[in-house]
Structure 1
């Protein structure tokens, strides 16, 4: 009976990509709406900043130590670049038209969805006490055929992050891929991959990389001292364990709007998002995202074992860059792609080099090319970044400035949020600080 239940549940989550879903999704192109998600953290408290930073293995005191941060050019502890994935309040505003909402609310049901990378631009730091709100929508959509998954649909979702003062903090463009589970299993090209194992000597080699790491911190990296072609110090991440996945979750990656909960909260979540729960081998409904820690479920979509979240590696990649640039630098932009899976037991070594340097509006910019490579010699996550560095000739880093049209949109969206918040009598989850 358990096997029958499992197969039935699997079939319910094994639908093909429908042509009509692709056409309906195109109705969303260019439409912007407020993000109606409460992330794991609602306020950037010093503890929230520290816990999130440590969750992906970063010990940078600029992000984890309030006293240290006060002595830097920022005058405060600040958030690491990827903090917006875990920090946000539900934003009130005008939704997309009702007819479009009805036509698109069940798109790609029963189809495997995963994030394959993103491009992010950062404009200002997140400080203790800040709140984030977001708005955006579908920027592009295209259909492709891949070797691993067969037919797939690639969507780019754009989100503008603003603080309670209506200041633009960042813009992220997430690459979301929909694939057909059955075709993934039939191809199963990754199923021959064996779990990694290590000798004491191999662990010692990885530990030696860890021992040589450390945030650059207060020692400035000057723009004039950087040379094109110079190598960046390698960074180790792994071997990946289930403990690492737990640490990332406990630090704040709540995977909203689905979430993870147990007991009555789990039951209520299952009523709210029934299609997100798939029966396991024992016939027990459990979250679809358990493919990050349950081998059997991961194997059902054509992978030999559980694997990491793509955003975990994105945090690692920003960690690599922020350690290199030091306290006085600013990460302007990063583009990354998750080309291969990072399985439990895998080790990623991040390496990179300086690809170029130039002066933009009086600020020294350095372009980096870097990548995460696993113990099998496969590049799993290539990336590029632009970093602003202090200059002896041009002075300290000036933060990038968003376009005037984007600033106007941010002010208008926050203004509408405040209007609805105060007129509602506080039925919202927001604290009201947006009005200060």
Structure 2
């Protein structure tokens, strides 16, 4: 592969850093550091249009977040944002590990009160450290797992959500060597009748809405309604960026981007087909970049998948339900052309430490290959059935 270097230090490959003792020592010294977020902020305010644009970008048209007249009659008396809207304020921040590749590995979240329209949301991000490096793995050679703690508060200091973002860091050269061992038939060769059935299922999906789902009526072993995403197209991936949910740092163009890349050459590469400079983030819409990362073709964003998980849970719990916590592990890549079905099962019912009646769920996201792309868990608070 051509790895010629421009006079600005940018190559036609993604940077290929190595784990070194110096790198590890530098990263240990950063543990506990609050990180700068200015280059990654997208929405400071939960305006009506910011919420709507985000919901369109994840394919969630629940009227509680998108219809002001409907929401006025709901439990909050106004529009609220879906719990995933925090990603539209600040998806995440990059820290250290110069030249290494990275995949989002795991998400852990807790939620406070919903974000109401008009609230100002501020994010605080702290580097909480890392595990490893693990000596070797079949997936991509030596790797580490790092942890960013992200706290989102409104202007009154109320904690709206906490997001523990864990990423796997690896040496891209080692990941590329193993790419062929993970080869798949992508994009998936769908048949017309399969596509028609997928679209029928999607069009039949409905949020529970104003009809309460009572804690009393839920049984252990119940499964939640399945929602389907796909076949995933380039526009689905771009819409997520347009929703303000992903770039770390923000995607930019022309002279703004060029100045950033000259300052940080490892943030970019030169596409050999178009000769344009592209950000590392383009692995999520550029097949060439994705292959340099050791993947097959362009793939989804980890938090994008979590947004779909949240969509499935809020559809099921109804307007009166509250999502309190979730986890998700990102296993298989979700590629362009894939279909993902998200569901879950009730595993327990209890009264929690806050005195709320909650259900605990196991959740999943499976693709058309039968792979479990995101095993997870969730805790949902539900209303009690009124006494007769």
Shared fold by TM > 0.5?
A: yes
Classify 1:192/1:263 alpha carbon distance in 2 versus 1 (closer, same or farther; 3 Å).
Answer: same
Structure 1 residue 263 displacement after superposition: 2.2
Aligned pair 1:315/2:307, yes or no?
yes
CA RMSD after TM alignment: 2.3
Structure 1 residue 223 displacement after superposition: 0.3
Structure 1 residue 154 displacement after superposition: 0.4
Counterpart among 270, 275, 289 of residue 261 in structure 2: 270
Q: Is the Cα contact below 8 Å between 1:306 and 1:343 reproduced in 2?
A: yes
**Bigger shift: 358-367 or 18-27?**
18-27
Structure-to-structure mapping, 1:266-345, within 5 angstroms: 266-282=257-273, 283-345=275-337
> SS of the counterpart of 1:44?
coil
Number of residue pairs matched by the alignment: 378
Counterpart among 234, 243, 247 of residue 251 in structure 1: 243
CA distances 1:318-376 after superposition (whole Å, capped 9, x unpaired): 00000000100100001011101001001001122111110124311001111110101
Partner of residue 218, structure 2:
226
Counterpart among 185, 191, 210 of residue 202 in structure 2: 210
Q: Is the Cα contact below 8 Å between 1:133 and 1:163 reproduced in 2?
A: yes
Q: Is the Cα contact below 8 Å between 1:162 and 1:169 reproduced in 2?
A: yes
Whole-Å separation in 2 of the counterparts to 1:357 and 1:207: 34
Q: Is the Cα contact below 8 Å between 2:126 and 2:150 reproduced in 1?
A: yes
Whole-Å separation in 2 of the counterparts to 1:305 and 1:57: 22
Whole-Å separation in 2 of the counterparts to 1:26 and 1:137: 13
For structure 1, the 5+ residue unaligned runs are: 90-104, 395-436
Whole-Å separation in 1 of the counterparts to 2:64 and 2:202: 19
CA distances 1:207-227 after superposition (whole Å, capped 9, x unpaired): 232133111110100000000
Classify 1:193/1:180 alpha carbon distance in 2 versus 1 (closer, same or farther; 3 Å).
Answer: farther
Partner of residue 355, structure 2:
362
Structure-to-structure mapping, 1:24-423, within 5 angstroms: 24-32=26-34, 35-37=37-39, 39-87=41-89, 107-143=96-132, 144=134, 145-188=136-179, 189-256=181-248, 258-282=249-273, 283-360=275-352, 361-392=354-385
Classify 1:39/1:136 alpha carbon distance in 2 versus 1 (closer, same or farther; 3 Å).
Answer: closer
Structure 1 residue 29 displacement after superposition: 2.6
**Bigger shift: 139-148 or 356-365?**
139-148
> SS of the counterpart of 1:233?
coil
Whole-Å separation in 1 of the counterparts to 2:241 and 2:25: 35
For structure 2, the 5+ residue unaligned runs are: none
Q: Is the Cα contact below 8 Å between 2:63 and 2:70 reproduced in 1?
A: yes
**Bigger shift: 29-38 or 283-292?**
29-38
Whole-Å separation in 2 of the counterparts to 1:253 and 1:122: 18
Q: Is the Cα contact below 8 Å between 1:339 and 1:379 reproduced in 2?
A: yes
Q: Is the Cα contact below 8 Å between 2:3 and 2:13 reproduced in 1?
A: no
The structure that has the greater radius of gyration is 1
Structure 1 residue 267 displacement after superposition: 2.3
Q: Is the Cα contact below 8 Å between 2:78 and 2:116 reproduced in 1?
A: yes
